[in-house]
Amino acid sequence: MILEMENYRAHFYTRRGIVKAVDGLSYSVQEGQTLGIVGESGSGKSVSQLSYLGLLPSPPLKIIGGSVKYRGADLLKMDPESLRKVRGNKISMIFQEPMTSLNPYMKVGSQLVEPILVHEKKTKAIARKRAVDALVDVGIPDPERAMERYPHEFSGGMRQRVMIAMALTTKPEVLIADEPTTALDVTVQAQILDLLKKIQKETGMAIILITHDLGVIAGIADRVAVMYAGKLLEEGGVDDIFYRSQNPYTLALLKSMPRLDTPQEKLPTIPGLPPDLSQLKAGCPFAERCAYHIAVCDYSFPPKRKVGPDHETFCHVEKLT
């Protein structure tokens, strides 16, 4: 295991109350493995990663408990300087929306070189060569010229490639990809995913892929963690989740996907809306929207239940039809 999260809880303290953005999340990632984290918008996917890396303001964020261990060292107990040596170096991140994540006032080359200078203390000449090589690796033509351009001079797909190059310049062991294919057309999406798989095969790094697109998960992930309202509702191998799911929320997500092998006059949707995380009731957070709802769901959060050799779910209903 290269990264292990155990009962991790990160809450926001606001004027409206305590927003339980991540509440008891546990998972692990092995070297060379891809973990997909899926769920509706607001389920806590991005916050679960940004918070332990110290990339969210505190306050209002407060880490309540749990552990996040990188190679056995708890990131939550590290001082800021030690965490800075890991963040962007051993654990790197591709952020959402490359147009807003890249600095519009800095040339792409300067932004690529900076992580190498900060983390590895290399000379500017060596750092520049590494940055150019990274642009070559992600398929950007004429990399020397690209180094002198600004982000707005690139297309959406090219900006996303620059973000991937920036995340990979320090040769991380864990890559967190937060919606890496958002707002990209299908062809560019496929290119980006193929690129991530190619780099993973060459380097052996682990990937945590955050998305709400189950099609993307099916194409790249080895394991899948399904989140809802800050909690983990199901985790298992990609085949377990897609073909042997035993959680009503996962089944509802799968049914809402368009299919080519089944004629559909109307695409099913999940009724209702996700709950307000500052006003969570006792019990299962998905209860009010669940097609398998029973009385115990209203007052008791379901215990973890093993439904396969490497497949776990949180649900009171023992067999879903």
Would you say residue 154 lies in a domain?
yes
Judged against a pLDDT cut of 90, whether residue 19 lies above it is answered with yes
**CATH number of residue 282's parent domain:** 3.40.50.300
The rounded mean pLDDT for the chain is 88
Domain boundary among 120, 145, 171: 171
Cα 60 to its chain centre, rounded Å, is 22
Would you say residue 277 lies in a domain?
yes
* Average confidence (pLDDT) over 105-119: 87
Judged against a pLDDT cut of 90, whether residue 315 lies above it is answered with yes
> 186 or 109: which carries more pLDDT confidence?
109
Would you say residue 238 lies in a domain?
yes
| Same-domain status, 38 and 97 | no
The model's pLDDT over 38-63, given as tens digits with 9 standing for 90+, comes to: 998 888 999 999 999 999 988 899 99
Q: At which residue do the structure tokens 């203390």 appear?
A: 121
Percent of the chain's residues with pLDDT above 70:
98
- What is the SS3 string spanning the chain? CCEEEEEEEEEEEECCEEEEEEEEEEEEECCCCEEEEECCCCCCHHHHHHCCCCCCCCCCEEEEEEEEEECCEEHHHCCHHHHHHHECCCEEEECCCHHHHCCCCCCHHHHHHHHHHHHHCCCHHHHHHHHHHHHHHCCCCCHHHHCCCCHHHCCHHHHHHHHHHHHHCCCCCEEEEECCCCCCCHHHHHHHHHHHHHHHHHHCCEEEEECCCHHHHHHHCCEEEEEECCEEEEEEEHHHHHHCCCCHHHHHHHHCCCCCCCCCCCCCCCCCCCCCCCCCCCCCCCHHHCCCCCHHHHCCCCCEEEEECCEEEECCCCCCC
* Average confidence (pLDDT) over 143-170: 86
Backbone angles phi, psi at 124, to 5 degrees: -60, -35
- CA distances for 188 relative to 140, 181, 198, angstroms: 13, 8, 15
| pLDDT number for residue 299 | 92
Strand partners, 62: 11
Domain boundary among 171, 189, 215: 171
| Same-domain status, 52 and 182 | yes
Judged against a pLDDT cut of 90, whether residue 158 lies above it is answered with no
| Same-domain status, 151 and 183 | no
Quick one: pLDDT band at residue 183, thresholds 50, 70, 90?
low
Would you say residue 320 lies in a domain?
no
Retrieve residue 236's tokens. Answer: 């298992």
| Same-domain status, 244 and 103 | no
| Same-domain status, 115 and 130 | yes
| pLDDT number for residue 36 | 94
Domain boundary among 150, 171, 192: 171
Instruction: Tell me the angle at which helices 124-137 and 156-168 cross, rounded to the nearest 10 degrees.
Output: 130
Would you say residue 321 lies in a domain?
no
| Same-domain status, 254 and 303 | yes
CA torsion angle 291 212 235 238 (round to 10): 110
The model's pLDDT over 282-312, given as tens digits with 9 standing for 90+, comes to: 899 999 999 899 999 999 999 999 988 999 9
CB-CB contact of 22 with 9 (8 Å): yes
CA torsion angle 204 100 183 241 (round to 10): 40
Total of domains in the chain? 2
Quick one: pLDDT band at residue 185, thresholds 50, 70, 90?
confident
| Same-domain status, 285 and 184 | yes
Would you say residue 200 lies in a domain?
yes
The model's pLDDT over 120-150, given as tens digits with 9 standing for 90+, comes to: 778 888 888 988 988 888 888 888 998 999 9
If phi over 0 gives left and psi between -120 and 50 gives alpha, with beta otherwise, what is residue 268? Answer: beta
| Same-domain status, 259 and 189 | yes
| Same-domain status, 186 and 306 | yes
Percent of the chain's residues with pLDDT above 90:
42
| pLDDT number for residue 321 | 65
Q: Which domain holds residue 153?
A: 91-171
Would you say residue 76 lies in a domain?
yes
| Same-domain status, 115 and 73 | no
| Same-domain status, 25 and 147 | no
Judged against a pLDDT cut of 80, whether residue 189 lies above it is answered with no
Would you say residue 309 lies in a domain?
yes
| Same-domain status, 153 and 190 | no
| pLDDT number for residue 280 | 87
